[in-house]
Amino acid sequence: MSKTAHAAVKKGAPPPGCSIDIKDPKVQDAAIKIQASYRGHRSRKEMREKGPPKILKALKDIVLIEGSAARLDCRVSAFPDPLIRWSKDGQELKDGPKYRYMFEDPDVVALVVRDGTLSDLGTYTISITNTFGEAFDSAKIIIEVPGKIEKGPDSVKVKAGQTVKLVAHISGEPEPDVGWAKDGEDIEEDNRVFYDIEANTTTLTIKNVVASDAGKYEIFVENSLGMDQSFARVDVN
């Protein structure tokens, strides 16, 4: 090694290829990223100071299409680590095939509801508890179900003068429109022939049956997601 090179090493000069130009844009960009990473580390550390749980990002109402899955999620802050519970309309939900508890670092908790049905409609609440306190938040799952006839009316044979009732079991959310027809023509209700609509059934009543009441009766339901129909025959002896 020459005396000049030896002297340079003793004075603390960087080895060849290791010098840094602080005016280099790439160097400045790297410095900014390091500072941002450090600030993020500090904020995460500050978030984990001991204390009661906090909701950092609230739950939001969501729409669940029948047969699909939905996810409720929120951001929380809690240290020591909290106990998480989910409930629906006040009834605790167990982690399993239907309801799945999810935890994502650093602070996201979620509930996944699978195989959506009309019965999943309701208010869902998250409870976050540690030794310093408890926090709650709630949101609704709104179910959308195409208009459907779960069970159509049965065909019947009646005698003149009797009363006949054709009953269909229906579902749908939003609540579907309901109509009845005879031989392809909409039924015009009167005191003798009329239909009622309840929460999940509709009933067509024909009083004092006459021969002309015989025929093919159709029930149809429809909402914004779809429609369905079913048929039954009425024979008059």
Question: What are the beta bridge partners of residue 227?
Answer: 222
DSSP state for residue 106 in the 8-state scheme? T
- The predicted pLDDT at position 12 comes to 52
- Distance separating alpha carbons of residues 12 and 67, to the nearest angstrom: 70
Helix (H) or strand (E) holding 164: strand 164-173
pLDDT tens across the length of the chain (237 residues):
434 444 444 445 555 554 555 566 665 565 555 555 544 544 455 455 788 999 999 999 999 988 999 999 999 998 888 899 999 999 999 999 999 999 987 789 999 999 998 899 999 999 999 999 999 999 999 989 899 999 999 999 999 999 999 999 999 989 999 999 999 999 999 999 999 999 899 999 999 999 999 999 999 999 999 999 999 999 998
CB 148 within 8 A of CB 135: no
- The predicted pLDDT at position 125 comes to 98
Residue 45: alpha-carbon gap to chain centroid: 33
- The predicted pLDDT at position 7 comes to 43
Helix (H) or strand (E) holding 150: strand 133-151
Contacts of residue 149, Cβ cutoff 8 Å, sequence gap at least 6: 168, 169, 170, 219, 221, 228, 229, 230
Residue 7 region by backbone torsions, left for phi larger than 0, else alpha for psi between -120 and 50, else beta: alpha
CB 159 within 8 A of CB 237: yes
- The predicted pLDDT at position 203 comes to 98
Say if pTM beats, i.e. exceeds, 0.85.
Answer: no
- Distance separating alpha carbons of residues 72 and 140, to the nearest angstrom: 9
Give the burial class of 78: count Cβ atoms within 10 A of its Cβ; 0-12 exposed, 13-18 middle, 19 or more buried: buried
- The predicted pLDDT at position 206 comes to 97
CB 195 within 8 A of CB 202: yes
Question: What are the beta bridge partners of residue 202?
Answer: 168, 197
- The predicted pLDDT at position 66 comes to 87
What's phi and psi for 38, nearest 5 deg?
Answer: -65, -45
Residue 216: alpha-carbon gap to chain centroid: 40
